[in-house]
Every structure is written in structure tokens, then in C-alpha cells.
């Protein structure tokens, strides 16, 4: 692998770009890590209704000042800001919402994504640890699945691969990938490279992506606002 041609996006900028594709008024579930950062980076005027697997629906923001109820937290241990219209229910009803296809978008992290849109994000086999949690249900049943992650591993190996070698979370489920160097949409025709980080060409992105990328007609720099 050669040296990067230009700086990569920060985790915050990955989340900021991801937030641009979240639908105003939509019901959204955010995973832990980079996905969770999206809630603080929404474009002006956009408001979402967040869902948490442990049984919360309708909160629109996080209580970063921790002056709310410490007994109310989402599945990632964050404290939702209490707003009128929020609903609380048990995990059975929460997963009924997920499995019934009522989540408009879920944003998840990723360890590997295949050219077919398969997602592996819960276990690294060599470590032998991991918990799939609600990610399997979200990936398989949300109307739209966006994965926000770094493009390569720490030793610069591709995380977008021809075939996943890690245990799958769900198959053929990912619609869009936002990484620190690219925005890629997955369709039945293949992987479309929509945007690349400043200073990165399509060839640079392809060099650290196993599946062949189709260059979108509107290919350009990554938008962050």
C-alpha cells in the first residue's frame, strides 16, 4: 500500500457527511461510535425522531449537560433529552418496530462490507469476542442502511472487500457507505463511487477498495455541509 495522497476525514467529518443523508422528520437509529456523532451534526432545520433498541422513540437530541433523568438512557448509554411526545416501551415492542420495517434509516459501524452489500460489524474472529446486539435486526429490516466507518484497517487493509471473512451481521443489506475518503452507494448494478475526499482521485480510492467501483456521473468532492 502506498502513502495517502491527501489527509483523510476525521471521525467527526465522517459523521457530518453521513448526517446530510438523514431524512428530515425520519425515524432514525444510530449505532455506537461514529454513527452516534451524527446527532450533533445535523444540517440546520433538520429534525429527526430517534429510536433506541432498549425501548425509546421520539427523542430529538441528547442531554449533554446531564441535567435530565439519569435513569433514562439509550442502548449506547447516552442520555436522551426528554421532549413532549416521547414514548417508552419494552424491548419486545422496540424490536417489533424494527422487524416491522418502521425504522427509516439506521446508521451502523462496520468491520467489513462486501461488494454485495453484506455487513460484518460485530466480531473479529481472531479476538473471539463480540456481541451482535440489535445490529442484526436493524441491518436486516431498516428501510435504509448507512454504514459510517474508516475505509481501511489500522494496517491499511481494505474494509470494503469482495467477500466478508468475518461473521456476517446481515447479508445484502447496506445501501450506502460513508468513509474517511469516500461516499459509495450500493445498488444491484454494483458499487457507485459518488464522492471522494479532497486530494483523492477515484484511482486512489479504488487502490484500497477490493470490489471494482463504478464512477458516478456526478462524482465530486465529499460534501460536509
8-30 pLDDT, tens digit each: 999 999 999 999 999 999 999 99
47 is catalytic: no
What's the pLDDT band for 132 if we cut at 50, 70, 90? confident
CB 45 within 8 A of CB 188: no
More confident of the two residues 2 and 164: 164
Predicted confidence at residue 82, as pLDDT, reads 87
The verdict on residue 94 lying in a domain is yes
The percentage of residues in the chain with a pLDDT greater than 70, rounded to a whole number, is 98
More confident of the two residues 162 and 71: 162
Domain count, the chain: 1
Long-range contact pairs involving 196-199 (C-beta distance under 8 Å, separation at least 24) = 196/220, 196/221, 196/222, 197/6, 197/7, 197/8, 197/9, 197/221, 197/222, 198/6, 198/7, 198/222, 199/5, 199/6, 199/7
More confident of the two residues 2 and 118: 118
> Is 84's pLDDT higher than 90?
yes
Domain limits at 36? 11-218
Q: Of 53, 116, 176, 195, which is the active-site residue? A: 53
Predicted confidence at residue 1, as pLDDT, reads 57
What are the distances in angstroms from CA 200 to CA 5, 116, 208? 6, 24, 12
**Cell 469476542, located at residue:** 129
Predicted confidence at residue 127, as pLDDT, reads 78
The verdict on residue 224 lying in a domain is no
CB 96 within 8 A of CB 90: no
CB 209 within 8 A of CB 221: no
The verdict on residue 4 lying in a domain is no
For residue 37, give the C-alpha cell: 456523532
The verdict on residue 80 lying in a domain is yes
The verdict on residue 42 lying in a domain is yes
The verdict on residue 5 lying in a domain is no
Predicted confidence at residue 224, as pLDDT, reads 83
- Span 67-71, average pLDDT: 78
DSSP states of 198-224:
TT--HHHHHHT-SSPEEEEEEEEEPP-
CATH number, domain containing residue 170: 3.40.1080.10
105 beta partners: 28
Query: Side-chain half-sphere of 4: how many Cα atoms within 13 Å?
Result: 16
Q: How many CB atoms lie within 10 A of CB 179?
A: 29
Predicted confidence at residue 129, as pLDDT, reads 73
> Is 61's pLDDT higher than 90?
no
The verdict on residue 171 lying in a domain is yes
How far apart CA 80 and CA 146 sit, in angstroms, is 22
> Is 128's pLDDT higher than 90?
no
Amino acid at each position: 500500500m502506498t502513502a495517502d495522497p491527501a489527509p483523510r476525514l476525521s471521525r467527526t467529518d465522517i459523521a457530518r457527511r453521513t448526517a446530510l443523508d438523514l431524512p428530515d422528520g425520519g425515524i432514525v437509529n444510530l449505532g455506537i461510535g461514529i454513527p452516534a456523532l451524527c446527532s450533533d451534526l445535523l444540517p440546520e432545520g433538520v429534525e429527526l425522531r430517534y429510536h433506541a433498541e432498549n425501548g425509546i422513540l421520539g427523542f430529538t437530541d441528547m442531554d449533554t449537560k446531564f441535567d435530565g433523568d439519569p435513569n433514562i438512557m439509550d442502548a449506547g448509554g447516552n442520555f436522551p433529552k426528554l421532549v413532549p411526545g416521547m414514548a417508552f416501551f419494552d424491548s419486545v415492542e422496540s424490536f417489533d418496530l424494527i422487524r416491522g420495517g418502521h425504522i427509516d434509516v439506521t446508521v451502523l459501524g462496520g468491520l467489513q462490507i462486501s461488494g454485495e452489500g453484506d455487513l460484518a460489524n460485530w466480531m473479529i474472529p481472531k479476538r473471539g469476542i463480540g456481541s451482535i446486539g440489535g445490529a442484526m435486526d436493524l441491518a436486516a429490516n431498516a428501510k435504509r442502511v448507512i454504514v459510517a466507518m474508516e475505509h481501511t484497517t489500522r494496517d491499511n487493509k481494505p474494509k470494503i472487500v469482495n467477500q466478508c471473512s468475518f461473521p456476517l451481521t446481515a447479508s445484502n443489506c447496506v445501501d450506502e457507505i460513508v468513509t474517511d475518503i469516500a461516499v459509495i452507494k450500493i445498488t444491484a448494478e454494483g458499487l457507485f463511487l459518488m464522492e471522494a475526499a479532497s486530494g483523492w482521485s477515484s484511482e486512489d480510492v479504488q487502490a484500497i477498495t477490493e470490489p471494482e467501483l463504478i464512477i458516478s456521473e456526478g462524482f465530486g468532492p465529499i460534501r460536509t455541509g
